[in-house]
Amino acid sequence: MNRLSRLTLLLGALLLSACDVRENMPSQQAGILARGELRVGTLYHPLYYFLRKQGEDGLDYELARQFAEQLGVRLTMVPAYHLNELFNLLDEGKVDMLAAGLVNSPLRRQHYRFGPSYYEVAQTLVYRKGQPRPTELSQVTGEIRVLAGSSQAEWLHRLAPEHPELHWETRRDADAEELLRQVAEGDTDFALVEDTLLARTQRYYPNIAAAFTLSEPLPVAWVLKQQADDSLYSSMLDFFDARQDDGTLARLNEKYFGHIQDFDYVDTRTFLRRTEDRLPRYRPLFKRHAGKLDWRLLAAVSYQESHWDPQARSYTGVRGMMMLTEDTAALLGVENRLDPEQSIEGGARYLNQLKARLPDSIPEDERIWFALAAYNMGLGHVLDVRRLTRQRGQDPNSWTEVKENLVLLHQPKWYRQTRHGYARGREALHYVNNIRQYYHSLQWLIGPQTDPAINTVRSEPPAASLPPSEI
Taking the C-alpha atoms of residue 112 and residue 256, their distance in angstroms, rounded to an integer, is 27
Element (H, E) at 98: strand 97-103
Strands 218-225 and 97-103: antiparallel
Where in the sequence numbering do the catalytic residues fall? 305
Return phi, psi of residue 395, to 5°: -90, 110
DSSP H helical ranges for 290-378:
295-306, 326-332, 340-357, 364-377
Of 47, 58, 444, 430, residue with least CA distance to 261: 430
Of 163, 169, 115, residue with least CA distance to 145: 169
3-state DSSP percent of the chain in helix, strand and coil, to 5: 50, 15, 35
Burial class from Cβ neighbours inside 10 Å (0-12, 13-18, 19+) for residue 235 reads middle
Return phi, psi of residue 451, to 5°: -105, 115
Distance, C-alpha 340 to centroid of its chain: 33
* 361-367, long-range: CB < 8 A, 24+ apart: 361/396, 361/397, 362/397, 363/251, 363/397, 365/251, 365/255, 366/251, 366/254, 366/255, 366/397, 366/398, 366/399
Taking the C-alpha atoms of residue 362 and residue 96, their distance in angstroms, rounded to an integer, is 33
